[in-house]
Amino acid sequence: MLAGSSLLASLPLAASAQEIIVVETISATTYLNGGIGKDEADAMRRIAKEFPLRLTFSVYKDGEFIVDVPVVIADARGNPVFELSKAGPMLYVMLPNGKYKVSARFKGLTESQEVTLRGKEGKDLYFHWKGTPKK
């Protein structure tokens, strides 16, 4: 969460008759974080097109999803516009058109990607840390 920011609103969305997804807004940035388990991941995927930036976090050769990933999104000037200390395995963020640098950290390794959002075209970014599968 950005320093000095506060929870501005929560908006429950019904993905289906039996599922409720809570979309949160921090510092006027709406995001959806989750995707743990098949039902939750499917529910998020159904509303993914509503978010211009979609991030997915995984690890190892088998692409196992991970959680608790610290994420920072900075604008073209390098100013942080969104921070979340525990993201994943999927994070969808509403941001205005523009250029951004997205940084995510797992086990001390930071991965960064640049993305340009424009028009109604959404962007998917995949953060994958390689390694040997757990035994």
Q: Residue 129: which of 79, 66, 59 has the closest Cα? A: 59
47-95 pLDDT per residue, tens: 999 999 999 999 988 889 999 999 999 999 999 999 999 999 999 999 9
For position 61, what pLDDT does the model report?
A: 84
Q: Which domains does the chain have, with CATH numbers?
A: 7-129 (2.60.40.10)
In terms of pLDDT, which residue wins out, 89 or 8?
89
Confidence (pLDDT) at 29: 79
Distances (CA, A) of 12 to 15, 56, 58, 64, 129: 9, 22, 27, 28, 32
pTM of the model: 0.78
Whether 24 has a pLDDT exceeding 50, the answer reads yes
DSSP string spanning 63-100?
Answer: TEE---EEEEEEETTS-EEEEEEEE-SEEEE---SEEE
Look at residue 120 in the predicted model and tell me its pLDDT: 84
Residue 21 has pLDDT above 50, yes or no: yes
Per the CB < 8 A criterion, the answer to whether 31 and 90 are in contact is: no
Do 75 and 100 form a contact (C-beta atoms < 8 A)? yes
